[in-house]
Structure 1
Amino acid sequence: MKPSFSGLVAAKNGQLAVTLRAPNTGGTGAISCRSQASLGTDGNGILTLSAGIGNPPGMWVHYVETRAAYGIAEAGETWSASGPFSGCQIVVGSTDGRVFVAHLAQQSGSTADTDWSGRGWKGDVWGRWKVPVPSYDFYSNSVVFVDWSKGASPKDISVVRVDLRTRSMGGFDNGPMEIFNVVQVA
């Protein structure tokens, strides 16, 4: 399914399960760290974000602690998601006619801003947004969805933040998490 704002708002107060595995990364600097992604629902009506070719196909940009991670869309991909966000930044734009999405980690000791500025390739940045901690009253983080199915241009993208209640700070639960808020970012 496509991560439209209306579809994600309809999932509010429901649940999201993120089953994409964390990457094994080492080194320093900006890193291309993406996987194919699929968004759907399971037999219990739980929204699922998993690895694989979706309908339509999407791209998952992994979070890499203290670094800048990015993905450049492959042919046929019309949306992306990334997370967890709790103070990190997301950057969206294009390079060589393809959409890119970057997740810039912002915790103490992060080199993400320096990594991103020295990435070795240029692109047209359409937007850069700080994704805040969604709640200080309980453990939480966000997944951000970027949809360019209406066109790969700044005026046609949709950026939506889905806020999740989690059991601990700093990551996803090993199971469904409550969607407590959905916000249109751009």
Structure 2
Amino acid sequence: MRIRLVRIDQPGAVCAEAIWEYLQACRSQPRDEAAGLGPLEDCHNLDEVRRSGLPEVARQARGNDLPPGFVPALQFAALEPSGKLVGIIQLRLQLTQALLRAGGNIGYSVRPGCRRRGYAGLMLDGCLRRAAALGMSRVLITCSRSNLASRRTILSRGGQLENVLPGSSGQPVERYWIDLPSERADR
């Protein structure tokens, strides 16, 4: 199984229709299992994906004119060789106090019909490589205590549990750090 991570803010990387179809599939699941959608989460129709979601993804990638509480972030679509969008993952390049508590540097989701096939691990692997290439030394990933699949994925990639905090929804939030290898120019 292979996937390709493409930046959603790059022209022609992934079409708005594919993103909208993905969002509809994810909305049938509990909210904590559809993380990493970033500004796309608030889109309620295809026109909103085009007019506000995708421009906001691009603005976050540029890191300029962000609303209070928002940080620069890169958002990637995980595509199978056939082009099917199987997941979305977001890499937040900074942490606010709120993101330190819940959210962290990375959030991701996998299409409900594609879960339990290893896509989340492949997506996380690619995102961790990109974070290391950007000079990040470690990343924080959080998940709700009830999201066993996400916990397994995080642990399998070296996640170290720091603590568990009460979440805003009443669900405990597990906080994991993953140390990244330094990218060296002489490699």
TM class by shorter chain equals 0.3 to 0.5
Which has the larger share of helix?
Answer: 2
Greater relative contact order (Cα < 8 A, sep 6+): 1
Which has the larger share of strand?
Answer: 1
Q: TM-score, normalised by structure 1?
A: 0.34
Q: TM-score, normalised by structure 2?
A: 0.33
